[in-house]
Amino acid sequence: MIAPALEALDILRTRTLASLAGEAIERLIVDGELKAGEHLNELALAARLGISRGPIREAIRGLERGGLVVTVVNQGSFVRKISAGEAHELYEVRIALTGYACAHLAQHATTDQIKILRDLIKRMSAAQAARDAADYYTGNLEFHARLMDFGGNRRAVRICDELGQELNLFRRRSLVSPEGMKASNAEHADIVRAIAAGDVARAREAGEAHIRRGMDRFEASTPRPETDAAHKNGDRTAKG
């Protein structure tokens, strides 16, 4: 199969090739086709997408700012390889934002919003019963997005979304076992209960604990600490 080139969408023309290329490369990275640490060959990417190197380079700059790739001069760009420590940092930011959003919701949530959250929990419960990991995954994604959207706001949603993408550079999709789904969804229910009860402190605690438990599960399941971290394509904010 010769590359689902961008020419297929050429009819639209409502967006620049750089933006389309950016999304295409982003997909290649999050889907794992471009693995962590791998080199991004501009010419190859341009050929694959059927465009020239200009838009490719522009797209890579965006990904660079987004933290998906790192660039070294005269050597090119590489898919960012984040360390366990960096992953921990990302998780902590999510913990902070989720906890705050839950606390905020406990004070300001409407009955409609709570109903939406409860419906999502039901949907995930059904997915878990059906062993449908994919459906649970999307439901979980929407649940957390709703949580942030209701409480924090759109910007917080975007930040969490980007953090999730970066985390996918470390863990290849959070594989959830049936038991894991059940436990995770029980935590979701805890969160919504606290929110519905208007218990600010408990809502925050439940929200934080949920993410933190996911972090713990993830860090416990990681084969090796992978202390090599920085390598040569380390973050430019390198320290120590």
Beta-ladder partners of 40:
77
121 contacts which partner out of DNA, a copy of itself, none, CB within 5 to 8 A by kind?
Answer: none
Nearer of residues 35 and 53 to DNA, judged by Cβ: 53
52 touches a copy of itself (CB under 8 A): no
41 touches DNA (CB under 7 A): yes
**With contact defined as beta carbons under 8 Å apart, do 117 and 143 qualify?**
yes
The token pair at 145 is 């997005």
Nearer of residues 181 and 211 to a copy of itself, judged by Cβ: 211
Separation of alpha carbons 108 and 121, rounded Å: 20
Separation of alpha carbons 185 and 210, rounded Å: 9
214 touches a copy of itself (CB under 8 A): no
77 touches DNA (CB under 7 A): yes
Nearer of residues 121 and 210 to a copy of itself, judged by Cβ: 210
The token pair at 152 is 């924090």
28 touches DNA (CB under 7 A): no
42 touches DNA (CB under 7 A): yes
Count of other CB atoms within 10 angstroms of residue 139? 24
- DSSP string of 100-126? HHHHHHHHH--HHHHHHHHHHHHHHHH
Instruction: Determine what percent of the chain falls in helix, strand and coil, rounding each to the nearest 5.
Output: 65, 5, 30
Nearer of residues 95 and 206 to a copy of itself, judged by Cβ: 95
Nearer of residues 65 and 224 to a copy of itself, judged by Cβ: 65
76 contacts which partner out of a copy of itself, DNA, none, CB within 5 to 8 A by kind?
Answer: DNA
Of 62, 164, 180, 234, the one binding a copy of itself by CB under 8 A: 62
Q: Position of tokens 């693995």?
A: 35
Q: How far is the CB of 20 from a copy of itself (least distance, A)?
A: 11
Distances in whole angstroms, Cα of residue 24 to Cα of each of 5, 27, 239: 9, 5, 32
Q: How far is the CB of 113 from a copy of itself (least distance, A)?
A: 16
Nearest-CA neighbor of 231 among 30, 38, 57, 29?
A: 38
Give the residues lining the site for a copy of itself (CB under 8 A): 13-16, 18, 22, 54, 57-59, 61-66, 71, 73, 86, 88-90, 92-93, 95-97, 99-101, 104, 152-156, 158-159, 201, 237, 239
Give the residues lining the site for DNA (CB under 7 A): 13, 16-18, 39-44, 51-55, 57, 71, 73-77
